[in-house]
Amino acid sequence: MRVALAHAFASRDGATPAVVVPATPANPSTSASASASDDSLATPRIALALSGGLDSMVLLDALAHWTQSRRDAGESVAQPLAIHIHHGLSEHADEWLAACEREARLRGFAFEARRVTVPRDARQGIEGAARAARYTALAERCAAHGIDWLLTAHHANDQAETVLLQMLRGAGLPGVAAMAGAGALPVTSSAQLLRPLLDVSRETMHAFASVRSLSWVEDPSNQDRQYLRNALRHDVMPAIAAHVPAYRETLARFARHAAQAQSLLDQLARIDFEAARVDTSRLQRSRLQGLDTARLANLLRYWAAREGLAAPPEARLDEWVRQIRDAQPDASLTLPHGDAVLRLYRDVLQWTPVYTAAAAAADADAAADDVALHWSGERLWSLPQWQGSVVFEPVIDVGADAQSAIAGIAEAALRAQPLIARERAGGERWRERADGHSRSLKHWYQNKGVPAWQRHVPIVWQAADIVFVPRLGIDGAALCVDGPRWRMTWRDEA
C-alpha cells in the first residue's frame, strides 16, 4: 500500500492508481474485534490519523481512491476509519474536528474523535507532550476497533527535517535513523504504523491537493519559529534546497544507513546481553569486564531501550560505564535513570522501580499503619502501602511419602487469630526450620542475598509471634507437613 499510494502523486489528473494491498500483520485480535460482515474480515482493518492539515487530507483522499479502486475490481475492502485527536491547544480546535468529520464522512470513512489533555508544563515540552498524548489515544482507538494498520501522512520533507533536528540534538544513530516506512507505534499497540508517503515531497502533495481541489485547515502554530522544527522548515531548508536540490533524497539515504548501522549495534548488544545474563532481566557484572568502553556503553544503551526507558544522555552513560567497570567485586551501586534505577548488588546488575529507593529511605515517622486480616480462605491480601500483596496457595500432596511432603502453615492456625501486617521496627528474629536457631532479619537478608532496597516489606504477625516475612518465607515455628496447609509468598506490585 505504501508504494501504491505514493504512486498516486506521480499523476496530477486525479486518476486512480494501481495499488498493492499490504499483507495482514500477525494480529490474533482482528477477527474478534472486527465486524462480522464479509467486508471487515476480507482485508486488514485500516485507520488514518487525520489532523485536518494538508498532509493528512491528501492521504485521506488518496486512501479513499485506493479503497474504491479495490471495490471496483471486485475485492472486499473493510471501511477505513479516520481518527482525529483534539488536543485542545488552539482556539480553532473545534473547527478542525468538524472539518475532519465532514471530509472523512464524505469519502465513506467511519470517523471517531478523541479529546486529550496536554500538560503545558511537561518536561518534554508541549510538542512532546502533545505527541505522547496523541499516540496513546490513537493506540487505544486502534485496539477498540481491531485496527491492523494505522496510517500517518509523514512525507519526505518531514523525514529530512527529522534527520537534521535529531543531529542538532545529538541524538545518535537511533535518532538520525529518523522514521521508518513501517513499524511499531511509539506506544504499546497491536496495530502497526505505516507511513505510505514518506518518499513524497510536500511540494508534490500540494500540487496533488490543488488538482483534486482539496480543502484543509492551517495551524497557525506551524509558523511559530520559536519551535526548532518550524525554524528549520522556514529558514534553513529553503537555503539548503537552493544549493542541494536533492537534499531530501540525500538525507533519506543517510537515515537508512544510520538505521542499518544501529541494527548491527543492536545485534552485537543482544550477543553481549545473552553472554552476561543471569535470568531474563539481570546481568552478571563480572561477565562484562571483558567488554571495552564503547561496547559496554552500547550494551547499556540497548538494555535501557529493552526495558522501555529513555536513552540515557551521553554524560550519564559514560558515568555508568566508569562505575560498573571500576566497582570492586563486593560493591553496590545505585544509578538512577528516569522512572527506574540501575543497581549492582553481589555482582548482579538489575533495573528496579524508583519507588524501592524512596521506600528504603523512608523516614521512621512515616511508617505504615498496622493492617489486620481475619483470614477465611482469601488467596490474596493486598497491602498497597508496601507496594505488594501476600499470596496464599493451598499445598496439594502428591504422594504418601512424608519425606517429600511440602511444608506450609496449617489452615487451622491461619484461622485461629488475626494476621497483622506491621512495619519492621528492628530486632525481629526469624527461623528457617522449626528446629533451627532464630536469627535477626538482617542476618537472614544478607544470608539469602536480599538487597537493601527489597527489604521495605511488612512482617506478618499473629499476636506476639512472627508468621511470615516476605522474601524469606513462613517462620519455621509455624511450618507443618501434614493436614490442610497453605504456602505464603510475597508479590511485588510496584
- Residue 192 CA to residue 183 CA, distance in Å, equals 6
Binding residues for ATP are 51-56
Q: CB–CB of 83/149 below 8 Å? A: no
C-alpha 454/C-alpha 151 separation (Å) is 44
DSSP 79: P
How deeply is 134 buried, as exposed, middle or buried, from its count of CB atoms within 10 A (0-12, 13-18, 19+)?
buried
Binding site: residue ranges?
51-56
Total number of residues shown for the chain: 494
Q: Which three cell numbers stand for residue 6?
A: 505514493
CA pair distance 455, 333, nearest whole angstrom: 16
Give the type of residue at 180: A
Cell of 186: 511509539
CB within 8 A of 329, min separation 6: which ones?
A: 286, 347
By the 10 Å C-beta count (0-12 exposed, 13-18 middle, 19+ buried), 268 is classed as middle
C-alpha span between 482 and 267 (Å, rounded): 52
CA dihedral 211, 212, 217, 223 (to 10 degrees): -30
Distance CA 460, CA 471 (A): 12
DSSP assigned state of 471: T
Judging by DSSP bridges, how do beta strands 380-383 and 388-394 pair with one another? antiparallel
Dihedral of the alpha carbons of 323, 327, 331, 333, in degrees to the nearest 10: 10
Amino acid identity of residue 22, one-letter, is P
Beta-sheet pairing, 46-49 with 81-86: parallel
- DSSP string covering 274-313, please? HHHBSSSSEEEGGGGTTS-HHHHHHHHHHHHHHTTPPPPP
Instruction: Report long-range pairs for 100-104 (Cβ below 8 Å, ≥24 apart).
Output: 100/50, 100/51, 100/52, 103/52, 103/57, 103/60, 103/215, 104/50, 104/60
